[in-house]
Amino acid sequence: MKNLFLLLPLLIIFSFACKSSEGDSVMDNPFFAEYNTPFSTPPFDKINEDHYLPAFIKGMEEQNKEIEIIINNPDEPTFENTIEAIEYSGNLLSKVSRVFNAMTESNTSEKLQNISKEISPKLSKHRDEINLNPKLFERVKSVYDKKDNLGLNTEQAKLLDEYYKGFVRGGANLNPVDKDKFKEINSQLSLLTLQFGENVLKENNSFQLVIDNKDDLEGLTEDVIASGAEEAAAKRLKDKWVFTLQKPSMIPFLQYSKKRELREKLYKGYLNKGNNNNELDNKEIIKKIVNLRLQKANLLGFKTYAEYVLDDNMAKNPKNVYELLNKLLDPALNVAKKEAADMQKMIYNEGNKFKLASWDWWHYAEKVKKEKYDLDETQLTPYFKVENVINGVFNLASNLFGITFEERTDIPVYHPDVKTFEVRDADGSHIGILYTDYYPRESKRGGAWMDAFRKQYKKDGKNISPVIYNVGNFTKPTADKPSLLTVDNVNTLFHEFGHAIHGLLSNCTYPKLSGTATPQDFVEFPSQVMENWAMEPVVLKSYAKHYLTGEPISDELIEKIQKSGKFNQGFETTEYLAAALLDMDFHSIEKPFEGDVIEFENEAMKKIGLISEIEPRYKSTYYNHIFSSEPGYATGYYSYIWAAVLDADAFAAFKETGNVLNPELGQKYRKYILSSGGTEDSMELYRKFRGKDPDIKALLEKRGLN
């Protein structure tokens, strides 16, 4: 899920990567008119790369005119003529930005990336000129100073507070010299983070493990071999097998390959992305980003960038984040060490003498799982055909929230892999549109995410319905098999759907506060809580059906899944915490960073006692969450575990009713969490749903760390 914390409500620009050349007339550019499509969805059949740049330029011009009207209004500043006027400005810019950002992340090209480099500094300058406009801030401050006498409702008061804080955090109180410095910092960060992400994508695509000897396929399942053959065929390599750094290709190879030296080669290719001392190396870029962020924080009166970011989150300060992470680290690391010992014992029992290494973990975890629980992925994946899993999560949402999904074939899409669904409420009324895009390709970055082509909001008494998309990188269908998911893939699909449903069921007035526009350490809660249902027996029975026979998953397999539910949680929690702490350490520096990035990372891992058998989930040079967009998840990767405390506690509420599909509780969750967006304090909304503060005990129990 991408971060959603920028001042301008309709201008969400995290990953800039898609632009165009000029030359289109106003009449030809689809962005310049109302979309003549079902539910005003983007007309992807008409949009081409040449449309983006003119639309960006015109969008900035239009918003500048709208801001000038606000500034020059002779009437006394009011909530309506100032705050609401800013809120609803920039419509065209939002329109093109949302499509553009989606394409550069999921369907990019060299031309789009080049346009990104051209437009990114212009967009940064445009935002700064609004955020740093003294006359505009004067009007906002005037309204803010009399907020207690304006009779504002809860959502209006929250919007006013967000705008005032946004201007202050955007540098509005700086002197003219510091404002210029601030602008230059933002401009540099926009280009550096863009370059970081492009380097990771190119490194990801450039590495391939080519196998031309059948003996080197030993241990791999038929499905994995078939995928490797199809990848080789796509690259026009005859009688070979290719494995890439895309997770659906890499992880199964690490799990099943008996060729340790090949597992090492593939995994080290992954670990060294952005760290190969070539033109795609990211180490110097990281140093520049970290130092620029520190400068930015210092200008705004904060000692560290972490303090600056967290001041606007639920956590409030670095101390609270470190306390939570360290409280979980010791029990997670202790469990991980036991897991490593089990694997080392197996290595010795097999007659081997080598020490377990990071590239061995997936392989021996799979073996230990098979030995302890008589369960492995090959038993489960036949039941997780992607279409069935999608139906499963749709049915879950129907049971909990009373909504339905209908596939549409009349809505233009940006790639043949994409499907669209109309979402309706229990009374049949239209809620929104959901796009799904689940297969990897070279034009798509790794990972999984959700965002919106259009957010939900209300204006002039009319509800503007949301247009949401989910993107993933799951195993592609082959010539004779559908896309079959791993348990991890299933959890990821449920996770991103949780974000999607947060955007779809939004019922807010203002786009700045709608849907997923919550504090960063709350936004992962609605997504993570959905994962709890994925492996629940009653839910599994509804969607886990063998792709060949149609038979539902057996009670015996479900029992094995339940018993193995806490397996490998030491590893998964530890690798995550290591990455979260690395993020915090980079952004907690108080002096300019002059050292070596890899040494800094190694010292950070040594400090927390990370064992050599485990690498942080993301190493610095390919840590897209924190370095490929601004601000991205910088000082925010901890939010997944912060939200995990909430999600475990919230799911416990359903368990306590004796019915995990309890519709009454589902409606309560919809009302206070999904529909409310960021209109109130997040913890207050949680208390309204749960009736109490969250308890960390539920998380420790869920992961077997207690």
Q: What is the pLDDT of residues 508-564, one digit of tens each?
A: 999 999 999 999 889 999 999 999 999 999 999 999 999 999 999 999 999 999 999
Say yes or no to pLDDT of 359 above 60. Answer: yes
The residues, any chain, with a CB within 8 Å of residue 525's CB and separated by 6 or more, are 643, 646, 647, 650, 673, 686
How far apart (Å, rounded) are the C-alpha atoms in residues 1 and 452? 11
Q: What is the pLDDT of residue 204?
A: 94
Q: What angle do CA 170, 173, 174 make, to 5 degrees?
A: 90
Q: What is the pLDDT of residue 478?
A: 85
Q: What angle do CA 254, 260, 262 make, to 5 degrees?
A: 70
Please give the mean pLDDT across all residues of the chain. 94
- Residue ranges of the chain assigned to CATH 1.10.1370.40: 1-131+133-169, 382-563+639-703
Say yes or no to pLDDT of 23 above 50. Answer: no
The model carries a pTM of 0.90
1-131+133-169 topology per CATH: Neurolysin; domain 3 (1.10.1370)
pLDDT digits (tens, 9 = 90+) for 620-638: 999 999 999 988 899 999 9
pLDDT band at 479 (very low <50, low <70, confident <90, very high): confident
Rounded average pLDDT over 235-256: 95
pLDDT band at 485 (very low <50, low <70, confident <90, very high): very high
pLDDT digits (tens, 9 = 90+) for 579-599: 999 999 999 999 999 999 999
Say yes or no to pLDDT of 22 above 50. Answer: no
Q: What is the pLDDT of residue 706?
A: 83
382-563+639-703 topology per CATH: Neurolysin; domain 3 (1.10.1370)
Say yes or no to pLDDT of 78 above 90. Answer: yes
CB distance 682 to 314 below 8 Å: yes
Q: What is the 3-state secondary structure (H, E, C) of 60-104?
A: HHHHHHHHHHHHCCCCCCCHHHHHHHHHCCCHHHHHHHHHHHHHH
Share of the chain above pLDDT 90, in %: 93
How far apart (Å, rounded) are the C-alpha atoms in residues 522 and 537? 28
Say yes or no to pLDDT of 668 above 70. Answer: yes
Say yes or no to pLDDT of 294 above 90. Answer: yes
How far apart (Å, rounded) are the C-alpha atoms in residues 229 and 606? 40
pLDDT digits (tens, 9 = 90+) for 549-568: 999 999 999 999 999 999 99
pLDDT digits (tens, 9 = 90+) for 48-59: 999 999 999 999
Q: What angle do CA 456, 440, 479 make, to 5 degrees?
A: 120
How far apart (Å, rounded) are the C-alpha atoms in residues 305 and 303? 7
Say yes or no to pLDDT of 573 above 80. Answer: yes
pLDDT band at 468 (very low <50, low <70, confident <90, very high): very high
Query: Which residues are annotated as catalytic?
Result: 496
Candidates 437, 580, 455; CA nearest to 513 is: 455
Q: What is the DSSP string of 613-675?
A: T---SS-GGG-HHHHSSSSTTTTTTTHHHHHHHHHHHHHHHHHHTT-TT-HHHHHHHIIIIIT
Q: What is the pLDDT of residue 285?
A: 98
Phi, psi values for residue 532, rounded to 5° = -60, -30
Candidates 135, 156, 136, 138; CA nearest to 147 is: 156
pLDDT digits (tens, 9 = 90+) for 85-136: 999 999 999 999 999 999 999 999 999 999 999 999 999 999 999 999 999 9
Q: What is the pLDDT of residue 24?
A: 42
Q: What is the pLDDT of residue 312?
A: 87
Say yes or no to pLDDT of 14 above 70. Answer: no
Say yes or no to pLDDT of 12 above 50. Answer: no
Residue written as tokens 């997040």?
682
How far apart (Å, rounded) are the C-alpha atoms in residues 474 and 483? 7
How far apart (Å, rounded) are the C-alpha atoms in residues 450 and 393? 15
Distances (CA, A) of 532 to 495, 646, 676, 703: 9, 12, 22, 12
The residues, any chain, with a CB within 8 Å of residue 288's CB and separated by 6 or more, are 188, 192
pLDDT band at 26 (very low <50, low <70, confident <90, very high): low
pLDDT band at 218 (very low <50, low <70, confident <90, very high): very high
Q: What is the pLDDT of residue 480?
A: 86
